[in-house]
């Protein structure tokens, strides 16, 4: 349902991208019923897919924990803003989501595949493990030329204490070879229980344990182990992981895994029969519905799926 909300004409200045954030926050708190416990951070307006409206992302926090983002659209004259979706029959229905999805995460499958699935995942999440196995066991076999799968980091450190370290380690590996990233991905999900036990029983030495396991994979993949070790020790990839988390929040992701199939958001570890049906829906999209924009990248990387 599309909701329009009239705001003060001074809420936004049409000539500049600045927002009267104090007034806008007060109005939002009133209509949404946010208590003082909820902290709001309002981004500056950015262009949107809707003519005459700018996109404003509002970040919500409670007790120092991020609890999600909300997206609003503000008119160029500042007289109105709305939340919801306005459909344009001449455009792809997921165009705006596609424009905000990252496109440079580790992937397998052809760059020009008909379907791209972007998966936001957490290496310590048991549901992510379940979904990863579903994806890796089925997509390369059934859709080797039609589907590209892209991984994006969303470690939820407040629930999963070693997920951030695993995310950083995986990015250190991915820097040298994408197929090595998928080797790490498959190993850590397959051995998730073992890694959990190591963390619970040896918290003081866990960082060394994860480092050693990562370097063992690095050696098997013929990478520069010294480079990977330095990357892990210096937390070189922490900012990249944090950026991916910010992307997830901006997309209003509430759980892991969350996947976007040609821009269509699907929450949770859906079983293969459901995932396959959604993939078929995209592969057989009616010609009257515009497809997603052409892929920005040109590389093709199809790693071998490890045995389970």
Length of the chain: 308
Which is nearest to 228 in space by CA: 240, 239, 241, 216? Answer: 216
| Contact predicate 100/147, CB 8 Å | no
Other beta carbons within 10 angstroms of residue 170's beta carbon come to 25
* φ, ψ dihedrals at 286, nearest 5°: -55, 140
The domains of the chain, with CATH numbers, are 3-83 (no CATH), 95-283 (3.40.30.10)
Task: Name the pTM for this structure.
Answer: 0.76
Give the pLDDT score at 238: 97
Give the pLDDT score at 287: 84
Give the pLDDT score at 76: 78
Q: How confident is the model over 216-238, as pLDDT tens digits?
A: 999 999 999 999 999 999 999 99
* φ, ψ dihedrals at 226, nearest 5°: -65, -40
| Contact predicate 60/40, CB 8 Å | yes
Beta bridge partners of 223: none
Beta bridge partners of 264: 261
CA distance 271 to 79: 45
Query: Which residue ranges in the chain fall short of pLDDT 50?
Result: 1-17, 295-308
- Token pair in block for residue 96: 């705006």
Residue 166: enclosing H or E segment and its boundaries?
A: helix 163-174
Give the pLDDT score at 18: 57
CA distance 58 to 163: 26
Q: Which residues contact 270 (CB under 8 A, 6 or more apart)?
A: 131, 134, 259, 278
Distances (CA, A) of 152 to 144, 172, 240, 286: 20, 14, 10, 29
């Amino acid at each position: 349902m599309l909701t329009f909300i009239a705001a003060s004409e001074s809420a936004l200045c049409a000539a500049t991208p600045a927002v009267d954030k104090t007034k806008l926050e007060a109005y939002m708190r009133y209509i949404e019923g946010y208590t003082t416990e909820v902290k709001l951070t309002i981004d500056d307006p950015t262009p949107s897919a809707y003519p005459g409206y700018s996109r404003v992302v509002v970040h919500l926090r409670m007790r120092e924990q991020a609890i999600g983002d909300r997206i609003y659209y503000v008119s160029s004259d500042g007289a109105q803003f709305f939340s919801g979706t306005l459909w344009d029959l001449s455009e792809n229905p997921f165009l705006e989501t596609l424009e905000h999805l990252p496109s440079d995460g580790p992937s397998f499958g052809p760059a020009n595949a008909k379907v791209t699935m972007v998966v936001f995942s957490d290496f310590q999440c048991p549901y992510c493990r379940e979904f990863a196995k579903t994806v890796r066991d089925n997509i390369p076999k059934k859709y080797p030329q039609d589907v590209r799968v892209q991984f994006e980091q969303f470690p939820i450190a407040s629930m999963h204490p070693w997920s951030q370290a695993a995310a950083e380690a995986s990015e250190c590996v991915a820097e040298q070879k994408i197929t090595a990233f998928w080797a790490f991905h498959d190993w850590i999900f397959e051995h998730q229980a073992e890694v959990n036990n190591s963390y619970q029983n040896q918290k003081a030495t866990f960082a060394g344990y994860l480092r050693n396991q990562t370097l063992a994979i690095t050696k098997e993949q013929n990478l520069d182990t010294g480079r990977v070790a330095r990357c892990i020790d210096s937390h070189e990839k922490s900012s990249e992981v944090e950026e991916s988390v910010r992307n997830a929040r901006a997309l209003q992701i509430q759980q892991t895994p969350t996947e976007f199939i040609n821009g269509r958001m699907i929450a949770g570890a859906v079983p293969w029969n459901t995932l396959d049906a959604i993939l078929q829906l995209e592969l057989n999209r009616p010609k009257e519905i515009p497809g997603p924009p052409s892929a920005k990248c040109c590389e093709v990387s199809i790693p071998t799926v490890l045995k389970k």
